Every structure is written in C-alpha cells, then in structure tokens.
Amino acid sequence: MTTAATFQIDHLQFLDAHGKVVAPLPAFANDPAALIPLYQAMVLMRIYDAKAIALQRTGQIGTYASILGKEAVEAGVGAAMEKDDVLFCTYRENGVQIMRGVTMRELLLYWGGDERGSDFAGPRRDFPVCITIASQCLHAVGVAYAIKLRRQPRVAVCMCGDGATSKGDFYEGINAAGTWRLPVVFVVTNNQWAISVPRDAQTAAQTLAQKALAAGFEGVQVDGNDVVAVHHAMREALAKARSGGGPTLIEAVTYRLADHTTADDASRYRPPEEVAAAWKCEPVLRLRNYLSEALAWNKALEEELLRQCNEQVQAAAQAYLDMPPPPVEQMFSHLYATLPAAYAAQRAAILAAAAESTQ
Amino acid sequence: MAQITLVEAVNLALARAMADDPNVVVFGEDVGKDGGVFRATLGLLDKFGPERVLDTPLAENLLAGMAIGMAAEGLRPICEIQFSGFAYSTLDQMLNHAGRMRHRTQGRLSCPMVLRTPCGAGIHPPEHHSESPDAMFAHIPGIRVVYPSSPKRAYGLLLAAIRDPDPVVFLEPTRLYRLFKEDVIDNGEALALDACFTLREGTDITLVTWGAMVYETLQVADELGEQGIVAEVIDVATLKPIDFDTILASVAKTGRCVVVTEAPRHCSIASEIAATLAEQGLLTLLAPVQRVTAPDVVVPLARLEQHYLPGKPQITAAVRRALEFA
C-alpha cells in the first residue's frame, strides 16, 4: 500500500486569550498603533450590536442576529478588503458590512423590515445579506468567474458559518472555485453553534478548513478571536487571489456569545459554564489588553472612543427611526426592470386597498 | 435563409448572441467539447473559446447560483440544465435569489440570466428526463418563463430572453427538437416576450397551448378545418407573465376554449388560464373551458408514455365537448 495523499491544517494565533504575543507578529502589526483602527472598528460593532438588540427588545426592529463574540473576524476581514472587492455575507456579518461602507442606518433599515436597507449607497456591488444558508457561495463563484474573465484585480469574499459547510451549496461552490482557480476567499466563522446544533454534531471532520483540501486549494484555521491572526490570513488570501493564485478557505474559530437571534434562547441547549468560559477568550478585551500593555491605548482614549461610537450609533438609530415606511408601491417597483402589463391590475388593486386602509 | 430544426435554431441564437455581446457566456454540463447532449451548443466552444463556453462540474444548483453572481456583475450568463428533471434543484436559487435580486436591492443589482432546459415527455428516455416543470417555475415572482414551439420562435424568443434585463427560464420542447424544420433567418431579430402568438385565426373555438403540444394542436385545428370548424390557435409562448389580453379577446370572439398542456393538471398553467377566463371572460363563454392535460401521476417510463401524454384524440374530444355544449 502507498500513500495517495496526506494533509495538514495550520492553526494561526498571534495573541493569546490574555492578549500576550505568542508568535512573531506579522509586519503589519509591528507597530501596535497600527492595530488601533481594528480595535476602534470592533468597539463600534459591539456598540451597534447592543443598540440593535435594544431596538429589537423595544419593538423598533424585527428579529436580529447578534455578532457578539465575532468582532475580530468581522474587523480582520473587513479591513483587509479593497473597495472594489465584492462581499457575500450572512445575517451575522453586519460588522464587515459597516467596514465596507454600508451605513448602520441601512443595516437597521433592513432589520426593521425595509428593502431600502439593501440598496447600499457605499459598496454598490456587494451582495445583500444572505439568509438561505450557504446559497451565497454559488453567487461568489459567479462573481469571481466574471472577475477572472475580465482579468480584474478584484476578489470575491464569501462568508458563511460552520453549519453552512454541511450544505451542498458550500461544497458545490468550493469545488467549482478550486476547479477554475477563481479569485475568491471563503471565510467560515466557526462559532461552535448552528442555532442549537453544536459543531461536533455538524460534521465528523476534524477541522472545517480541511474541506478546502478536498476542493483542491488551501485551507487554514485561525483563532477567530485574535484579530491579528484573522487579518493576517485574510491579507495573505486576498493577495494570493488577486495575483492569480486561486481560492483560500479561512476557518475562524470563535464562539457565539449571544443567542442565535433575538428569537432564540440559547440557555435551552447549552450550558452556562461553556458560555462563561468563552467570555474569557473574547476578542475585544484581548486586543485592548494587548494595546494597553504596549502603551498604545489608555483609559482616556477608551472613554473618548466609547463616546464617539455611542454618538455615531445613536445618530444612525435615530436616522433609521426617522425614515417613514416605504411606499406600498415598493412591492412592484423593482420586481422587474419594467413591470409586465399582466401585473398592472394587481398593482392597482394593492395600491387602492392600501389607500383605503390608511383613510 | 435556411431550413433548420428547433435545436439548430437554439444553437443559431446562442451563436448570434455570443457574437453580438462579449458579455454572453454559455455554461453547463457537457456544453463545451460535446456541444451539449442534444447538441444545442455545438460549435460554440470552437467559435468563442473555453472562457465563454464552459464545461462545469456536475452540479445543477451551482449553474443557477453562479449565473446569478455573473449576472449581477454585468455578464449575460446562459446556463444549460441537461434535462428539466434535473432543474428542480435550481428552484432554490431561482426563487430565493434570481427572482428577487432586483427587488431586494431596489434595483441596485439585477439578474439578467437565462436558464435553458429541454422540457417535456415523448422521447422515451430514462426516468427524470420527461418532466414538465413549467408551472413550478411560473409560480416564482420576478422571473419570466418562456417556452417556444417552433424553430423560428425558438430563435427569436431565445434572443429576447438573453437580452431581457431580468431572469428567464427558457424551456425547450425536447420532442420538437428535431421533429420538423422551418425557414429561419439569422438576422438577430428578437421576438416579443410577454406576448402570445396567434398561429391560426378562427371564429368557432380558441385552442390555447404552448411547447410541444402546439404541434398536435395545430394538426387538430387543420382536421377541424376540413370539417368546416375554424379554430383559432394561440401559442402562449411566455408562460410568466401571460398575455391574457390576447386569450380573452380571442375567447370573446369564439366563445369556446380548450387549453392544452402536457403537464399534470393540478395547479397547472392550464388551470391558471381557465380560472382567468372564468373570472374575466365568463359572459363571453358559450361553454365551460376544457382542459386537456396529463394526469396527476408520475411521468411513466417509456412503455406507458404514449398513454400518459395527451394527443390529438384528447384534444379533439375536448373540442367536441366545448362545441356541443348547449
């Protein structure tokens, strides 16, 4: 018997749970001050997240999926992308979207039940949030194919969760991306839970990163609570994709500190000790510890940042709340480029009924 | 001008669209070197190269999903699903994404894609190769479903589908692929979508149909003509949205209508047409609308296929019922 193939998956970590450096830092992180923008982004996300939950609890937006605990994944990915890259994200990637230039007002508009929230004024080519699990992997392949066909220096970045790696769409997507060596980076946030189903009930695979190997390209696992690790892996993967080196899969290992969504109660299926232990590894405090230790951050800067972020989030929430509901017409106005004549009567009936109900 | 088959007309339209617009890409299983299992994409690889004529991994859902991504980036993707029975796995992408991309981004992104697939029974193939999913696709908001019934209409409607700014499911009648030839001028002219084609004008009864059943329905109309009954024959062609104005106007003239489809009856497009006639044309009707459909059963394998597909006898009997209703 001979060996047909062997494999190895690297795990990347620079800052441990206490914010101590455990491996030589990559060049971009040599100056601790260079990490401050990442920290600022993570703090903004956490404050936005808390506000979104508060808005949901007070009936001012609909169901919301918290990003609590994965701020390092969001910041590490978002900060590495170029403006002309294309993001494919799930409902738990609002942080990356903020970094891409989607406004918090737009995000709240979406959660508040208004399609205008996906008409981003910023990243015009980014796809809207994808709810149906893993289906965005195929869109990313299509966009990456178009990019490659036109020989553009752009990359499609496709984010999904651990549960998504069980779906056919994910496998079909990574398989095609590998086959055609497409400029796409798959970022799998392994937050240990797909609603109530734990990671080890999702797959027998040792890592999610190794699924990339079956598709013929590199998979790497990173500590998803270490923003330096996420950002480094992402920079490398984007540079490779941009220079024709094909796809990469990054598995970012983290923990979903919140319920699946505001409609979920995670205490039904996971022990509080597990959550408490995960809090000890959370990404925001970890980076703050590192920056403080490196004398790049202090209490005054922290207070000022919190003040600014709160102000920004509050303004966005108010801007969302100030927006009147969309016109009823919206149901029809972008259904087709031009509404087919066959639907004119339906449109008229809906508008007439709406006009009557508001009288 | 050349006499060509329906599948050759599809091929001609694809070649024309690819020559006219560098954004048009064709992909699917075996569409490259093999030219497609029905040869609809024959010669395209040699003419346009492997970047624009692409053999894909064997994954139908991938085809629909990547078409959505390509379309949003400004390409004009045309994917081929080898047989309509394999198209069901694309319903998720077509429903959850293709049909709603323009709406959910309020026009920021759109989805000008074409999903082509051979459709219908009657060629004695293996299981899953005879399906008629027209009504399933037609139920999806935001897309178009187009089903040509002759080489000329296949050419003109496919060009229209490719140029349309919204997603189109383009069903090709497998049974007619090579059944007859027609003169087709390769002039790049598209035919109108969202419009019926009145193939025969008549005064006594309206026969409404689409896809491969147009063939038998025209034969029945000819036979009726020999008996002095002048039937109007309408090829619906675009099954979503449906040009009900043409159908209602015809029935207002004839007072009688038979709708013919080879799909199973329940929730079929024939049912939608009959319901609309009842709703909007009741006072013009002189007889109940008759539906000629396949039964609500699994498409039989080859040995029973001829008992499943409706044909001339069923259409003729339905016409008699409509004409004899007092």
Instruction: Report the candidate in B110, B64, B73 with the shortest Cα–Cα distance to residue A172.
Output: B64
Given a contact cutoff of 8 angstroms between Cβ atoms, the answer to whether B5 and B181 are in contact is yes
Q: Where are the domains of chain B?
A: 2-184, 197-324
CB pairs under 8 A between A and B: 132
Residue contact A168–B61, C-beta within 8 A: yes
B22 touches chain A (CB under 8 A): no
Distance from B212 to chain A by nearest Cα, in Å? 24
Neighboring chain B residues of A170 at a CB cutoff of 8 Å: none
> What is the C-alpha to C-alpha distance for residues B170 and B81, in angstroms, rounded to an integer?
10
Residue contact B105–A125, C-beta within 8 A: no
Q: Kindly name the residue from A260, A286, A290, A320 that is annotated as catalytic.
A: A260
Instruction: Report the candidate in B39, B48, B50 with the shortest Cα–Cα distance to residue B8.
Output: B39
Q: Kindly name the residue from A105, A154, A256, A286 that is annotated as catalytic.
A: A256
Q: Which fold has domain B197-324?
A: Rossmann fold (3.40.50)
Burial of A69 (0-12, 13-18, 19+ CB in 10 A): buried
Neighboring chain B residues of A337 at a CB cutoff of 8 Å: 102, 110, 165-166
Of B56, B68, B107, the CB nearest to A334: B107
Q: What pLDDT score was predicted for residue A68?
A: 98
Q: What pLDDT score was predicted for residue B123?
A: 87
Three-state SS sequence of chain A: CCCCCCCCCCEECCECCCCCECCCCCHHHCCHHHHHHHHHHHHHHHHHHHHHHHHHHCCCCCCCCCCCCCHHHHHHHHHHCCCCCEEECECCCHHHHHHHCCCHHHHHHHHCCCHHHHCCCCCCCCCCCECCCCCHHHHHHHHHHHHHHCCCCCCEEEEEECHHHHCHHHHHHHHHHHHCCCCEEEEEEECCEECCEEHHHHCCCCCCCCHHHHCCCEEEEEECCCHHHHHHHHHHHHHHHHCCCCCEEEEEECCCCCCCCCCCCHHHCCCHHHHHHHHCCCHHHHHHHHHHHCCCCCHHHHHHHHHHHHHHHHHHHHHHHCCCCCCCCHHHHCCCCCCCHHHHHHHHHHHHHHHHHCC
**Which pair of structure tokens corresponds to residue A321?**
């709340």
Q: What is the residue type of A223?
A: D
Contacts of B176 by beta carbon, 8 Å cutoff, 6+ apart: B6, B149, B150, B211, B212, B215
Q: What is the DSSP letter of B129?
A: S
Neighboring chain A residues of B74 at a CB cutoff of 8 Å: 146
Distance from A125 to chain B by nearest Cα, in Å? 7
Q: Kindly name the residue from A11, A125, A269, A307 that is annotated as catalytic.
A: A269
Q: Give the tens place of pLDDT for each residue, A264-303.
A: 999 999 999 999 999 999 999 999 999 999 999 999 999 9
Taking CA atoms, what residue in B is nearest to A178? B57
Q: Mean pLDDT over residues A304-328, rounded?
A: 97
* Spans of chain B, pLDDT less than 50: none
Beta bridge partners of B2: B184
| Residue A171: active-site member | no
Neighboring chain A residues of B141 at a CB cutoff of 8 Å: 335
Of A147, A176, A334, the CB nearest to B66: A176
Q: Mean pLDDT over residues A70-88, rounded?
A: 98
Contacts of A102 by beta carbon, 8 Å cutoff, 6+ apart: A94, A120, A122, A123, A126
Given a contact cutoff of 8 angstroms between Cβ atoms, the answer to whether B195 and B171 are in contact is no
> What is the C-alpha to C-alpha distance for residues B45 and B71, in angstroms, rounded to an integer?
21
Q: Give the tens place of pLDDT for each residue, B103-127.
A: 999 999 999 999 999 999 988 888 8
Given a contact cutoff of 8 angstroms between Cβ atoms, the answer to whether A193 and A266 are in contact is yes
Neighboring chain A residues of B103 at a CB cutoff of 8 Å: 115, 334-335
pTM (2 d.p.): 0.97
Distances (CA, A) of B48 to A102, B24, B56, B185, B207: 39, 10, 16, 22, 42
Q: What is the residue type of A210?
A: Q
B93 touches chain A (CB under 8 A): yes
State the CATH class of domain B2-184: alpha beta
Mutate: best of B23, B55, B88, B105, partner A, most A CBs <10 A: B105
Burial of B298 (0-12, 13-18, 19+ CB in 10 A): exposed
Residue contact B110–A144, C-beta within 8 A: no
Q: Sort strands A156-161 and A86-88 into parallel, antiparallel or unpaired.
A: parallel
Distances (CA, A) of A223 to A21, A135, A260, A282, B177: 13, 25, 21, 11, 56
Q: Sort strands B238-240 and B144-146 into parallel, antiparallel or unpaired.
A: antiparallel
Residue contact B56–A146, C-beta within 8 A: no
- Band of residue A358 on the pLDDT scale cut at 50, 70, 90: confident
Contacts of A130 by beta carbon, 8 Å cutoff, 6+ apart: A88, A89, A90, A91, A136, A139
**Three-class secondary structure of residue B276 per DSSP:** helix
Q: What pLDDT score was predicted for residue B151?
A: 98
Q: Which fold has domain A11-326?
A: Rossmann fold (3.40.50)
Q: Mean pLDDT over residues A100-128, rounded?
A: 97
Is the confidence metric ipTM above 0.90 for this complex?
Answer: yes
Beta bridge partners of A187: A159, A250
Q: Sort strands B114-119 and B168-173 into parallel, antiparallel or unpaired.
A: parallel
Residue contact A142–B141, C-beta within 8 A: no
B197-324 and B2-184 share a CATH fold: yes
Q: Sort strands B76-80 and B24-28 into parallel, antiparallel or unpaired.
A: parallel
> What is the C-alpha to C-alpha distance for residues B186 and A180, in angstroms, rounded to an integer?
34
B64 touches chain A (CB under 8 A): yes
Element (H, E) at B28: strand B24-28
| Residue A288: active-site member | no
